Structure 1
């Protein structure tokens, strides 16, 4: 299967470093011009995260209308993670069930699931360094000019 194909619009944005022929008929949703409002159903912490991330995603041209659901799921997972962490902080890692047996706090499972969702949907949005580099291009310094290019009949840049 390999790595998922990079959208043509993203290759154009990055300058097509591989110099491969680009598909002209590929899907290319337009970036949003304005930051969308958070969905009404999101909780307080989720809206806080939306307001922190959505403007950056819009300004960088990453966010399209088709990405808003990814951001909503990411923010909802963030809220679940925060609520579960608060639960563990107040009741501990273990709890006593109805039969009096000491068991792992179910909030620990919620934390693990929410963190997996944060990683997955965050990567889709470019919210970790590796996926951000993939989405935005390397952003590193350009290669220095090869001084021997003139010997091969090329032209040195000024």
Structure 2
């Protein structure tokens, strides 16, 4: 059975009302550095999502490998889907038309991606139980003043 992290139990209101661990490690909510070994497309996903997750406190300094796996799964899924789009669901095989192997690859990466996404609150179901602090919206007057609009006399 997978144990739910304490932070997630607190955010969801500890529905089981079981005692919470007191000495669980609490890594800093700082995005780790993107690994150099990630393929270009996976790095693009890292760059796109890491800062968003960091702001929400859902990506910490020790989550690098797990988040790299998420980004890699997403990039590989996209690659498989491109192949399906280009060659179709059925391709020529030794004995005529056969299912494109990219269909199975896409299914496997989609399944893995769904599991990784849930760990980072990236799907509606896992996000529905989270109660994270939101950034306060700026005061409209402050925004106007920051914009540096010239005064009209």
TM-score interval, normalised by the smaller of the two chains: 0.7 to 0.9
**Residue 113 of structure 2 aligns with which residue?**
118
State whether residues 8 and 24 of structure 1, in contact with CA within 8 Å, keep that contact through their aligned partners in structure 2.
no
State whether structure 2 residue 69 is matched by structure 1 residue 76: no
Q: Which whole-Å deviations, capped at 9, do the CAs of 1:26-72 have from their partners, x for residues lacking one?
A: x2232333x33321121222111111111111111111233221211
Alignment of 1:6-155 (within 5 A): 6-12=4-10, 21-25=19-23, 27-33=24-30, 35-97=31-93, 99-134=94-129, 136-137=130-131
Give the SS at the match of 1:65: coil
TM-score with structure 1 setting the length: 0.71
* Structure 1 position 10, deviation (Å): 3.8
Alpha-carbon RMSD across the aligned residues, in angstroms, is: 2.5
Q: Structure 1 stretches (4+) deviating beyond 3 angstroms?
A: 9-21
For residues 18 and 87 of structure 1, the distance between their equivalents in structure 2, rounded to whole angstroms, comes to: 45
State whether residues 81 and 106 of structure 2, in contact with CA within 8 Å, keep that contact through their aligned partners in structure 1.
yes
Give the SS at the match of 2:50: helix
Task: Decide whether aligned partners of structure 1 residues 11 and 31 sit closer, same or farther in structure 2, where only a CA change above 3 A counts.
Answer: farther
TM-score with structure 2 setting the length: 0.73
Query: Quick one: higher RCO (CA 8 Å, sep 6+), 1 or 2?
Result: 2
Structure whose CA Rg is larger: 1
Aligned length: 133
For residues 80 and 133 of structure 1, the distance between their equivalents in structure 2, rounded to whole angstroms, comes to: 27
Stretches of structure 2 lacking an aligned partner (at least 5 in a row): 134-153
